Amino acid sequence: MSAEDQIKQTVTANDVVLFMKGTKTMPQCGFSSRVAGVLNYMGVDFADVNVLADDAIRQGIKDYSDWPTIPQLYVKGEFVGGCDIITEMTLSGELDALFEQNGVAYDKDAAEKIREANA
């Protein structure tokens, strides 16, 4: 199976997917750690794909999304963004709205605590 086919299958088979450096329990870069930390704190059930484990996936996800950096978050098959975009969406409440629109369970109180801590 090609890297593109693997990526497509992963993105469509899971409601929320984070392509990252490392894993959700052991991120290996600060940007991946920040996004995984937000999702973990908010109680979002997400699949993690460690791009460091496979060079074809690491390059393939950049080609797939036409986005040059990692991490990359996908919700219901749609590319949402990288670390800066996810951070902004979390602080503005847009990420909550995206999860609600797509039927993704998350902890609203945790999301509020993130916003309060960064106000």
Give the C-alpha distances (Å, rounded to integers) separating 33 from 13, 22, 30, 49, 73. Answer: 23, 9, 5, 13, 13
Give Cα separations from 86 to 5, 31, 114, 117 (angstroms).
25, 10, 13, 16
- How far is residue 36's CA from residue 23's CA, in Å, rounded to a whole number? 8
Q: What size, in residues, is the chain?
A: 119
- Amino acid (1-letter code) at residue 14: N
Confidence of residue 42 (pLDDT cuts 50, 70, 90): very high
Q: What is the pLDDT of residue 119?
A: 85
Residue 2 has pLDDT above 90, yes or no: yes
Distance CA 57, CA 78 (A): 17
Domain around 77? 3-117
* pLDDT computed for residue 1 by the predictor: 87
Cβ-based burial of 119 (10 A; exposed 0-12, middle 13-18, buried ≥19): exposed
Tens digits of residue pLDDT in 56-81: 999 999 999 999 999 999 999 999 99
Confidence (pTM)? 0.96
What's the number of domains the chain is made of? 1
What pLDDT is attached to residue 10? 97
What are residue 25's phi and psi, to 5 degrees? -95, -15
CATH code for position 42: 3.40.30.10
Q: What is the pLDDT of residues 77-116, one digit of tens each?
A: 999 999 999 999 999 999 999 999 999 999 999 999 999 9
